[in-house]
Amino acid sequence: MDLGKWNILGVQISAIDYEAAVRRILTAAERHQRLTVSALAVHGVMTGVLDSTHRFRLNHLDLVVPDGQPVRFALKVLHGVRLPDRVYGPTLMRRVCEAAAARGQSIFLYGSRPQVLEALEQNLRAQIPDLRVAGTEPSRFRCLSDHEQRELADRIRNSGASIVFAGLGCPRQEVWVYELGHLLSLPLIAVGAAFDFHAGTKPMAPAWMQRRGLEWLFRMSREPLRLGPRYLRYNPAFLAAFARQYARERRAAGRSGK
């Protein structure tokens, strides 16, 4: 299922399921074509709502999949788009890795800390024995200069990687994917906390909490000082902006007689 992009609070969200997303990514990898991808939950959407420059970046990515259940719910309520599930960044990463291994494609891991990358690579190789990891490189935890970006693009290109995963945190990873996308002809996928989850350095929320859109509550309970301010700011702001867009859509539908 790939129903194109839809406006959620000014951010263009792709109404797509796992199967179609994986297919697009692997097709781009096999054809050596650029494909910029991000998995956005509420926080990611709100970074675009509150910053017009960043909204421009997000709206010029090729795929912005609905990582959070509230984003999937917004697609349904505002536009009548019914997806079978959200497209969760960690699950998308695992499915892309499985498909890449089956087709002989290799991956590159960029971001996080060296110890997380080491554990991540080990776990991925253990779970997907045929997976080829062309290279890894930790984050510098700062913006790269133009020269550094070109050097990094050269290293990724020379590694022979077919697909790049970026785990830098939102919104830095979306900036990175947007900027490096102009330098590389392959898929670049921002997957956020997927690096920590697959490395085993942070726990994932229970499945029942994920299904009910409560993953944020689980994560905030584990990291209240870091994530508490984020969720307390962005979740209410998302709800308020959603209510305003819903009201506008209803008024427009009333005027048109729909």
Domains of the chain by residue range: 2-213
| pLDDT value, residue 10 | 95
pLDDT above 70 covers a percentage of the chain that reads: 99
Q: Is the pLDDT of residue 257 over 80?
A: no
**What pTM did the predictor assign?**
0.90
Average of pLDDT values for 11-19?
Answer: 96
Cα angle 232, 243, 178; round to 5 = 65
| pLDDT value, residue 173 | 93
| pLDDT value, residue 214 | 85
Q: Return d(Cα 43, Cα 183) in angstroms, integer.
A: 27
| pLDDT value, residue 258 | 60
Cα dist. 201→35, 55, 246, 256 in Å? Answer: 29, 31, 39, 52
When the pLDDT of each residue in the chain is averaged and rounded to a whole number, the result is: 92
Q: Is the pLDDT of residue 205 over 70?
A: yes
Cα angle 84, 57, 85; round to 5 = 5
* pLDDT tens column, 74-103: 999 999 999 999 999 999 999 999 999 999
Average of pLDDT values for 4-11?
Answer: 96
Amino acid symbol at 216: W
Q: Is the pLDDT of residue 138 over 70?
A: yes
User: Whose CA is closest to 68, among 91, 41, 47?
Assistant: 41
- Residue identified by tokens 């259940």 is 69
Cα dist. 209→199, 205, 214, 217, 218 in Å? Answer: 21, 6, 5, 8, 8
> Tokens standing for 6?
């839809």
Amino acid symbol at 51: D
